[in-house]
Copies of this chain bind each other. A is one copy, B any other.
Amino acid sequence: MAEVVRTKQEICERVAAARAGGKAIGFVPTMGALHAGHRKLIERSVSENDFTVLSIFVNPTQFGPAEDFDRYPRHLEADVAAAGQAGADLVFAPTAEEMYAADHSTWIDEEKVSEGMCGARRPGHFRGVATVCAKFFNVVRPDRAYFGQKDYQQLRIIERMVRDLDIPVEIRPVETVRGGDGLAVSSRNDYLSPDERQASLAIWRALKQAAALVGGGERSTRAVSDAVRSEIVRDGRLRVEYIEIVDAQTLEPIVPLEGRMVIAVAVYCNHTRLIDNLVVECPKAD
């Protein structure tokens, strides 16, 4: 079991002591419900730092009013055990009251990278994410922080924020972890029935087919996007929220396809929202 601290002051002091001992600090921010993806983030941090802090905080400000804040999975004890097994030194699990003053009124908005994809469909989501991450960075003051590529837009927004606000932390992306069936590991997969999970495998199939299309020379954004859509909706159990093919760094749309791009999708399976993406490299035309 990793040790758990509950207050900003305590985490700040504990990390300061580690830092004073010459230790490099790694940080893995999570909303708990730890899975193999988080485990990989922790292991990466442990391999690159001397002291790893994991935060567990279901951040209310990044959920919309109609979203799943209330039913988001919470099981702190299991999470703390899993964090310790993966090598985390300390778990920071604050309450919402510890993190936000009742009259909290300061927000961080990234306004470009967050324009499309999830940013367009979840108003206020990335404002909440950026704000809570900046707060965590200021409290923990890590040397490096670890983010999964599965939440691709989040990763790019955090990188942009860190650059724009000169936050002294290095953001380290970590590859998406998939189940044996290909489904990207996510805490929200807990919501899926076995049948729904089976249906959701079309997402990864569609992304791989799209990569093959681009690899085969297809340069039409529309054609690739249509192919992804038809694979996802084929058996009728998934509904597409968006399919976007965008520059892998700026997340701006690219037409026709060239350079390093990400094919990103958000899909509903009944009430469960799933996102996934695949980065594809496509040689520039001469």
Name which residue of chain B comes closest to A140, CB basis: B166
Contacts of A105 in B (CB 8 A): 110-113, 160, 164
The oligomer's copy count stands at 2
Interface size class of chain A, counting residues whose CB lies under 8 Å from the partner chain: 20 to 34
Give chain A's interface secondary structure class.
mixed
**Chain B residue at minimal CB-CB distance from A115:** B105
Q: Does A240 sit within 8 A of B, measured CB to CB?
A: no
Inter-chain contact A138/B110, CB cutoff 8 Å:
no
**What is the bound-complex CA distance between A168 and B138, given in angstroms?**
7
Contact of A135 among B8, B160, B165 (CB under 8 A): B165
CA distance A108 to B138 in the complex (A): 15
Please judge, given known A-B contacts A106-B130, A130-B106, whether A164 and B101 are in contact too, CB under 8 Å. Answer: yes
| Minimal Cβ-Cβ distance residue in B for A137 | B166
**Residue from B106, B113, B163, B165 within 8 A of A160 (CB atoms):** B106
- Pick 23 A–B contacts, CB within 8 A, sort by A: A8-B166, A101-B163, A105-B110, A105-B112, A105-B160, A105-B164, A106-B108, A106-B109, A106-B110, A106-B111, A106-B130, A106-B160, A106-B165, A107-B109, A108-B109, A108-B165, A109-B109, A135-B165, A138-B165, A138-B166, A138-B167, A138-B168, A141-B168
A: residues with CB less than 8 A from B are 8, 12, 100-101, 103-113, 130-131, 134-135, 138-139, 141, 160-161, 163-168, 250
